[in-house]
Amino acid sequence: MRLAPDLPRRSSQAPIREYGAIGDGRTVALIASDGSIDWLCLPNLDSPSVLGGLLDHRRGGRFQLAPEIAFRAQRRYLPNTNVLETTFDTDRGRVRVTDAMTLPRAGLAPQRELVRRVEAISGDVPMRWRVEPRFGYGARPCRIGTRAGVPVASAGADALAVRAWNAGSIVCGPEAIGGEFVASTSRALLVLSASHAEPLVFPARDEVEARLDSTIDFWRTWAGNRSYDGPWRDAVIRSALALKLLVHAPSGAIAAAATSSLPETLGGERNWDYRYSWPRDSAFTLDAFLALGCSPEADAYFSWLLHASQLTHPRLQVLYRLDGGTRAPERELPLAGYRESRPVRVGNAAAPQLQLDVYGELLQTVHRYAMSGGRLDRETGRRLGEIADEVCRLWRLPDAGIWEVRAEPAHFTQSKLMCWVALERAAELAQEGKLPAGHAHLWKATAEKIREFVDSRCWSPERGSYVRAPGTRELDASLLFTALMGFRPGDEARVDATINAVREELSHGALLYRYRDEDGLPGREGCFVACSFWLVEALARRGRHEEAATLIDELLPLANDLGLYSEEIDPDTGEFLGNFPQGLVHLALISAAATLADVPAP
């Protein structure tokens, strides 16, 4: 029997907006609305892709499953889960496909298992499926054969098996495994069982079905235990579920996004690998976890953050690997890129940059953790004190800033502000007896010097606002941190003026650009979605409840049909840009919604 050809597609890759995400706490698969899984890294999220059609539709590999005839697709997550349900409507009937990465239960389960269940709702619908595994970002030779009658694709220490029930005769070709069947009364099941450095497990059907059911139960229980009861609960719970997908279960680290090299400009070179954990996101992460009652996740993340930063103590690296490692060498892959957006990069050269704001984010995180009842032992307190001492030494240096600009280092206002946050929080913790108090006077005095610097050098009387860096007239959405971090407590006139100036200059509808000036790279990017939610939170914190509520109501419909966001949105077309789903956006959404719920309307 001949292997069926590729299913036709409107263009080489689906729009980023059309992807949904499923995962198991170790890796994430992205599924387009046409039923094609175009992204799956194995065994972990930061491993090389096996299905990487997202970055090269010819060489990357994918797992297609869809009707052979014309269809319209509708999809949703099963309520309160990370299990995706796609319904295909055709002239010959309707078919429902349920996609999940299962969680292991008792018993011998595959290392990683991706399940696709096909049920006919009405009629007899001809279906076609095709798995094209391409190990190592499509670079490693793959052997396809059978073991005990089961199709297996392998390359070195990695392998995956395809199990299929009621899904037609399986055909193995040199580059793909596939089949065709008619979805009617009997339920079909397709399973990818993956293994790294181990023999494969070929699961039995009843065990797969049981794991799928228990996976749905797990997600429902987890989502049901989240404690947010404000008016934006659906969006908050979806964001929490999206974040949970990005949590690397063995370490507690949170990946910034599930993908690499989805472009910030279509066809451009702003393509970065976000499958690392940024301590910068830590304050938002901890806030979100604590706000939603995710204590185990908060403890795990805090523990990971302290453990990972130990490797570079007292310096903080900008990003760490999900296992806590520090090496993230950047290289370019010979892939065509998402819609010809090249280069495709893996690794991230921002890792060794000096970004002063991370110290503020770390100590803000520690402050929140400790003040919400988390325990800091003596050794941790000593190390944090040494980090505060390091901030006293470093704060006068120029850095790459929150946006990791690849131009010359500069004295970014937000970096200085976050150094002030670091030392203020360290001094407060020392006062509470949670950090050694020996250097507290130095921290307090240096914080005051930084405040003076920000107020004298980073304030533009001409613009009536803080500006991006001393001596410029440029505004930057990161200046909203003056409101988020409580700068100038009791005297917030300048903070309010900055919020207004940022909103006026950087807004495009409900969305905000990060900045409008040069950043050392060619091309123009879209609006940075997290900034828009920061604006919501800034407005809420400054008592402008109605404006904040109006803005968040405008932002929520900009998500895709599943409630997910990418890093950026083109404000003119609504097209998603950048890596997806992006954790920082969902963190900012939760933080904004939680702040709005906490701050009563006047």
Partner 1 sequence: MTVWGALAGGLLGTVVLTSGLRACSELHLTRMDIPFLLGSAFFTDRTRAKAVGYLLHFAFGLLFALAYYALFRAIGDASWWLGVLFGLAHALFAGTTLISVLLPAIHPRMGTATTAADASPLLEPPGFLLINYGASTPVVTLVVHLVYGGIVGEFVALSG
Stretch that binds partner 1, among 74-82, 105-113, 332-340, 425-433 (CB under 8 A): 105-113
Q: Which is nearer to partner 1, 31 or 155 (CB)?
A: 155
Q: Which stretch binds partner 1 (CB under 8 A): 59-67, 83-91, 140-148, 393-401?
A: 140-148
User: In the complex with partner 1, which residue's Cβ is closer, 108 or 493?
Assistant: 108
Candidate ranges 22-30, 143-151, 332-340, 358-366; the one touching partner 1 (CB under 8 A): 143-151
Identify which of 452, 542, 460 has the alpha carbon closest to the alpha carbon of residue 499.
Answer: 542
Question: What does the alpha-carbon distance between residue 473 and residue 548 come to, in Å, rounded to a whole number?
Answer: 26
Q: Which of 5, 79, 156, 464 binds partner 1 (CB under 8 A)?
A: 156
CB nearer partner 1, residue 195 or residue 415 = 195
Q: Does 157 bind partner 1 (CB under 8 A)?
A: yes
Looking at the Cβ atoms of 211 and 425, the one nearer to partner 1 is 211
Q: Which is nearer to partner 1, 194 or 447 (CB)?
A: 194
| Beta bridge mates, 84 | 77, 99
Closer of 199 and 489 to partner 1 (Cβ): 199
Answer whether 478's CB lies under 8 Å from 447's CB: no
Nearer to partner 1 (CB atom), residue 15 or residue 43: 43
How many residues of this chain bind partner 1 (CB under 8 A)?
Answer: 29
Q: Is 381 left (phi over 0), alpha (psi -120 to 50) or beta?
A: alpha
- Indicate the residue among 198 and 455 with the shorter CB distance to partner 1: 198
User: Could you say whether residue 148 binds partner 1 (CB under 8 A)?
Assistant: yes
User: Among all chains, which residue has been given the structure tokens 């793909």?
Assistant: 176
Taking the C-alpha atoms of residue 296 and residue 447, their distance in angstroms, rounded to an integer, is 33
| CA-closest candidate to residue 45, choices 30, 26, 63, 62 | 26
Residue 200 found at the interface with partner 1 (CB under 8 A): yes
Q: How far apart are CA 222 and CA 236, in angstroms?
A: 13
Within 10 Å of residue 167's Cβ, how many Cβ atoms? 24
Q: Which residues contact 536 (CB under 8 A, 6 or more apart)?
A: 548, 551, 552, 555, 592, 595, 596
Candidates 9, 76, 96, 196: give the one binding partner 1 (CB under 8 A): 196
Based on CB atoms, which residue is closest to partner 1, 142 or 366? Answer: 142
Could you say whether residue 493 binds partner 1 (CB under 8 A)?
no
Measured on CA atoms in the order 422, 427, 428, 434, is the torsion positive or negative?
positive
Contact residue for partner 1 among 175, 198, 217, 452 (CB under 8 A): 198
Which residues, in sequence order, are CB contacts of 396 under 8 Å at separation 6+? Answer: none
CB of 423 to partner 1, least distance (A): 43
Determine contact, residues 200/112, Cβ cutoff 8 Å. Answer: no
Q: How far apart are CA 595 and CA 278, in angstroms?
A: 23
Q: Contact with partner 1 (CB under 8 A): which of 34, 38, 99, 158?
A: 158
Helix axes 493-506, 529-541, angle to 10 degrees: 150
Instruction: Return the closest-CA partner of residue 548 out of 495, 601, 502.
Output: 601
Stretch that binds partner 1, among 141-149, 426-434, 499-507, 563-571 (CB under 8 A): 141-149
Taking the complex as a whole, the smallest distance from the CB of residue 206 to partner 1 amounts, in Å, to 8
Neighbours of 549 (CB within 10 A): 18
Which residue number, 162 or 319, has a Cβ lying nearer to partner 1?
A: 162
| Among 76, 96, 187, 205, interactor with partner 1 by CB under 8 A | 205
**Residue from 108, 224, 520, 602 in contact with partner 1 (CB under 8 A):** 108
Residue closer to partner 1 by CB (options 201, 597) is 201
Query: What minimum distance in Å lies between the beta carbon of 145 and partner 1?
Result: 8
> Is residue 149 near partner 1 by the rule CB under 8 A?
yes
Question: 433 in the Ramachandran plot: left (φ > 0), alpha (ψ -120 to 50) or beta?
Answer: left
Instruction: Indicate the residue among 101 and 262 with the shorter CB distance to partner 1.
Output: 101
- Between CA 496 and CA 585 the distance in angstroms is 23
Closest separation in Å from C-beta 158 to partner 1: 8
In angstroms, the CA 171 to CA 409 distance is 56
143 touches partner 1 (CB under 8 A): yes
Confirm if 262 and 16 have CB atoms less than 8 A apart: yes
Find the largest Cα–Cα distance for the chain: 79
Is residue 1 at the binding interface for partner 1, with CB under 8 A as the rule? no
Q: Does 171 bind partner 1 (CB under 8 A)?
A: no
Nearer to partner 1, 43 or 231 (CB): 43
Among 7, 69, 78, 150, binds partner 1 (CB under 8 A): 150
Asked if residue 515 lies in contact with residue 468, where contact means CB atoms within 8 angstroms, the answer is yes
Give the shortest CB-428-to-partner 1 separation in angstroms: 43
Nearest to 158 by CA among 60, 83, 257, 50: 50
195 in contact with partner 1 (CB under 8 A): yes
Choices 106-114, 168-176, 226-234, 496-504; region in contact with partner 1 by CB under 8 A: 106-114
Q: Which two tokens stand for residue 299?
A: 């403890």
Site string for partner 1, 230-269 (x = CB under 8 A): ----------------------------------------
Question: Which of these segments, 199-207, 268-276, 474-482, 512-520, binds partner 1 (CB under 8 A)?
Answer: 199-207
**Under a CB-based contact definition with an 8 Å cutoff, are residues 181 and 188 in contact?**
yes
Indicate the residue among 163 and 244 with the shorter CB distance to partner 1.
Answer: 163
**Of 159 and 216, which has the nearer Cβ to partner 1?**
159
Q: How many CB atoms neighbour CB 65 within 10 A?
A: 26
CB of 255: closest distance to partner 1 in angstroms? 23
Q: Does 107 bind partner 1 (CB under 8 A)?
A: yes
Contact 591, 288 (CB under 8 A): yes
CA dist., res. 95 & res. 45, Å (int): 30
How many angstroms separate the CA atoms of 359 and 355, rounded? 8
Q: Of 579, 486, 474, nearest to 525 (Cα)?
A: 579
Segment lying near partner 1 (by CB under 8 A), choices 59-67, 142-150, 273-281, 536-544: 142-150
Report if residue 147 touches partner 1, rule: CB under 8 A: yes
Among 301, 333, 298, 337, residue whose Cα is nearest residue 320? 301
Shortest distance, CB of residue 191 to partner 1, whole angstroms? 11
* Cα(501)–Cα(507) distance, integer angstroms: 10
Binding positions for partner 1, rule: CB under 8 A = 106-109, 143, 147-150, 152, 154, 156-159, 161, 163, 195-205, 207
